[in-house]
Amino acid sequence: MPANSFIFSEGPGGILKQSGYKKNKTAAAVGEKEMHRGRLNVTAKTAYVVDFDGTITAKDLSTGLARHFGGERYREIESLYRQRKIGMRGWLDGMSALLPADFDLLMAYVAEHVVIRPGFQEFVRFAREQGCPVTIASDGFGFYIEPILERFGCLEYIDTIYCNKALPREDGTLRIETPYRHPTCPVCGNCKPNHVLALKRQGWKVIYIGDGSNDRFGASWSDYIFARDWLAGQCKEQGIPFSPWKDFFDVIRTGGSPAANTITVSPFCRPEGEGYVY
């Protein structure tokens, strides 16, 4: 098989199957590990919640697709998002309408541009060895996540994937469905704090790994944070403790034990209440 090819399943009408991926085991069945590394140093069930675009991948593929197909309209929507005049759901609605509903064409772009961040393959094996489930929480277009993980031999190590769904519009462009949005908050397509809090209610200590501004919501409700780029800037601004990272080897080297998040209430959102704050 060519190095840049993908295998992906199809649903009705030839559309990529993008339902929430979950392995045939519960997170609790993975088991508990006694963690005595770095600054965690507690006996606890530990789970990872990991962003996809710009975190697992070296570049944001949703942004790359929007920029490639969107032209000037891409720049207008991106500017509104960076000014916080629209949230991620508004970004998805606007950008998806710029993309053709031709999944072969879109996946050809992905195959040419995808780069997995160094150490990710080793990280997912490390997490499995430690008995720590890995959840991917993505607020991008979503359709390429499983094919990429399959291509790089990582899909079998991922316990759960929460992502948006890309479907065709009648005019031949994409539309995005957001099955994991907050019930009242209009900002995000995928409410990452809800996934973090669900794990915490099950007794897991949650380590969040991310890079983007949108990751601030899930990270700020986590017990421990690995942050880089935009997310690191947001944590610094709000005084939220985090461990910086460049690649997944940094996560492995610390034994999966970043600095503890001492913030008890997120300054960014209230997922069990009104949602978005800042």
In a domain, 204, yes or no: yes
Phi, psi torsion values for 192, nearest 5 degrees:
-65, -35
Per-residue confidence of the chain (278 residues) as pLDDT tens digits? 343 444 433 333 333 334 455 554 433 333 333 333 334 433 368 999 999 999 999 999 999 999 999 999 999 999 999 898 998 999 999 999 999 999 999 999 999 999 999 999 999 999 999 999 999 999 999 999 999 999 999 999 999 999 999 999 999 999 999 999 998 888 899 999 999 999 999 999 999 999 998 899 999 999 999 999 999 999 999 999 999 999 999 999 986 567 888 888 888 877 877 776 75
Query: 43 in helix, strand or coil?
Result: strand
Specify whether the CB–CB gap between 216 and 57 falls below 8 A. no
How many Cα atoms within 13 Å fall on the side-chain side of residue 1?
6
Give the pLDDT of residue 278.
Answer: 57
In a domain, 87, yes or no: no
In a domain, 277, yes or no: no
- Domain housing 200: 17-59+116-168+177-267
In a domain, 78, yes or no: no
Give the pLDDT of residue 44.
Answer: 63
DSSP 164: -
Number of domains present in the structure of the chain = 1
Give the pLDDT of residue 15.
Answer: 32
Where residue 90 falls (left for φ over 0; alpha for ψ -120 to 50; beta otherwise) is alpha
Residue 227: both structure tokens together: 């942050």
CATH of the domain at 31: 3.40.50.1000
In a domain, 137, yes or no: yes
Cα distances (Å, whole numbers) of residue 198 to 47, 190, 206, 271: 11, 14, 10, 11
In a domain, 226, yes or no: yes
| Contacts of residue 131, Cβ cutoff 8 Å, sequence gap at least 6 | 30, 31, 32, 33
Give the pLDDT of residue 276.
Answer: 65
In a domain, 35, yes or no: yes
Token pair 């030839």 in the structure block, residue: 14
In a domain, 215, yes or no: yes
Beta bridge partners of 210: 227
Cα distances (Å, whole numbers) of residue 208 to 5, 12, 213, 272: 30, 34, 13, 19
**Terminus-to-terminus CA distance in the chain, angstroms?**
47
